[in-house]
Amino acid sequence: MIHNRILIIFAVISHFFFPHVTADTPSKAPAASDVFETTEINIIEPRSLSTAYDNLIGKSLSIANFGQVPWGRTLIGHAYLANPLNACSKLKPPVAQHDNENPDAEDPDHPIIFATRGDCTFDTKALNAQMIGAKTIFIIDNVEGENLNYLIPIQDKLGDSVYIPTVLLDKRSGELIKKELEKTPPVAVSLSISFELPKALNKTKVDLWLTSSDPRGFEFVNSLQEIRKKLKDSIEFTPHPVLWYCLQCERRGFVGTDTDPNCVSSGRHCSPDPDAGGPLNGSQVLLEDLRQLCLFNHNQDAWWAYFASFNKSCLNTAYLQQCSHEAIKNIGVSVSTINDCVTDSFGGGDIAKAENKIFAKESEAMKANMIRLWPTLLINKQMYRGNLFPSDSIFEAICDGFANPPRECIYDDIGVVPPLVRYEKHYPGLIIALVVVVLAILFVTIFICYKRRLRSEVNKEMEFMITSTMQKYVQLKE
């Protein structure tokens, strides 16, 4: 089943302006602040390849928005070419290329696979690599000079089955590594890739991009409730609505374009019909988005409680507003306060014509961050890549966004065990202390065992001497 986010894109493409996105056409990534993930590749061997790679100018890569991306960790392994090279069908397991030919935990059971782009979707290639035990797959771009920092490889129908990270690598870098792997006799190529996010000195900032027409948005927010409770004041969540606009209305200068039921503000802000001609329309979805934003601005705790209280079965029904009001009452907030906020955001004017000051600001933010998928998470202004469910990977990514992680990120408080690399990176003293304790325990254990063995040997010697003496005494008596 194709992901809901992709379905919605194609459903509205004929009516609203929105870029065409497919599973082999990466979507645009955030570009407003030019902050990209600090994920880096390091060639370990051979040294000649490492030097050549380091000297390349304009290197870029992009992590796919599916799979379990190990944020805050480093993957190390041996690289192999996919066989077949496009990875569009079942792959043959790689043959070890070390000098000693001794297979280990890294190779060939868990290789790093390089494949070429094209002929099938990104997640098809990743799944085929995953089936032979690959720990990750690099897909070499087929466009010369393309800046992949602005692109996102997206999933198709197989994305939910993929758990390894998928990385789209620029053509020059990929071809350089590919050429080395094609040499005869084979050359052992080892590399590492570190998955890092920009670091915040104080609070890690998380921006959520949602739309009320997508039930997954409600599931997504509720899945983050536990993370918010654990990290408390060390994390700052901010919700944003996913908005469109009417391209035809723009071409007419937004004059006389106030009749579209899926838009407000003369077509400046729109949402696709959520139920394809059913009782709801896009403007009702937008009003629900506004109620949520007003609730967040009124009381952030109430916003989180609203998502837990709201009856999701009301989505795509004629009772959306009624259910919204009921949920607002249930969390102890005045419905009139929220409705007044919605009305004021239009300046008290007709919602079909008047500009909405909240949406105007949010629309600019959406364009600046080039949001193309939803739900979408931005951590310290960097788009989160990987599976959204379950939230364990998101927790690791958020923790990686701290320059000095809070205690909850170090200890397993929500069922997530952070990788050892985080201890090594932020708490070297803890590692040293643990080593000292282990050595002390080992020394005491050896000492006790030695003492027991020495005592046993002494006892045996005493028994032998006593026995010998008694035998002589008996013989003397006789």
Residues 6+ apart with CB under 8 A from 1: 157
Strand partners, 78: 190
Q: Are 388 and 220 in contact (CB under 8 A)?
A: yes
Give the CA angle between residues 42, 150, 193 to the nearest 5°: 15
Report d(CA 349, CA 357) in Å as an integer: 12
**pLDDT band (50, 70, 90) for residue 308:** very high
User: Is residue 452 predicted with pLDDT exceeding 90?
Assistant: no
Residues 6+ apart with CB under 8 A from 53: 41, 43, 59, 173, 176, 177
Contact, 314 vs 320, CB < 8 A?
yes
Quick one: how far is CA 289 from the chain centroid?
A: 25
Q: Is the pLDDT of residue 173 over 70?
A: yes
Contacts of 234 (CB under 8 A, 6+ apart): 203, 204, 402, 406, 408
Count Cβ neighbours within 10 Å for each residue of 80-103 and write b for 16 or more, e otherwise.
bbbbeebbbeebeebebbeeeeee
> Per residue in 412-443, is it b (16+ CB within 10 Å) or e — as a string?
eeeebebeeebeeebeeeeeeeeeeeeeeeee
pLDDT in tens, 211-249: 998 888 889 999 999 999 999 999 999 999 999 999 999
Q: What's the maximum distance between 2 C-alpha atoms anywhere in the chain?
A: 134
Outline where 276-427 has alpha helix (H): 282-298, 300-309, 320-330, 335-345, 357-368, 392-400, 407-410, 420-426
Task: Please give the backbone phi and psi of residue 435, each rounded to the nearest 5 degrees, phi first.
Answer: -65, -45
Question: Contact, 187 vs 99, CB < 8 A?
Answer: no
pLDDT tens for 431-449 read 566 666 777 777 767 767 7
Cα 383 to the center of its chain, rounded Å: 8
Instruction: Please give the helix or strand (H or E) that residue 80 lies within, else none.
Output: strand 74-81
pTM reported for the whole predicted model? 0.76
Q: What pLDDT score does 38 carry?
A: 74
pLDDT surpasses 90 at 52: yes
CATH of domain 204-420: 3.40.30.10
Using alpha carbons only, how large is the chain's radius of gyration in Å? 30
Q: What is the pLDDT of residues 342-399, one digit of tens each?
A: 999 999 999 999 999 999 999 999 999 888 888 999 999 999 999 888 888 899 999 9
pLDDT at 146 over 80: yes
What b/e sequence results for 236-270 when a residue is b if at least 16 CB atoms lie within 10 Å of its CB, and e otherwise?
ebebbbbbbbbeebeeeebeebbebebbbbbbbbb
Three-point CA angle 219, 222, 226, nearest 5°? 140
pLDDT exceeds cutoff 60 at 417 = no
Q: How far is CA 214 from CA 132, 211, 282, in A?
A: 35, 6, 12
pLDDT value, residue 458? 53
Residues in a beta bridge with 140: 116, 169
Q: Which DSSP helix (H) or strand (E) runs through 61?
A: strand 61-63
Query: On the CB side of 315, how many CA atoms lie within 13 Å of its CA?
Result: 17
CATH topology for 21-194 is: Glucose Oxidase; domain 1 (3.50.30)
pLDDT value of residue 30: 47
Partnered with residue 326 across adjacent β-strands are none
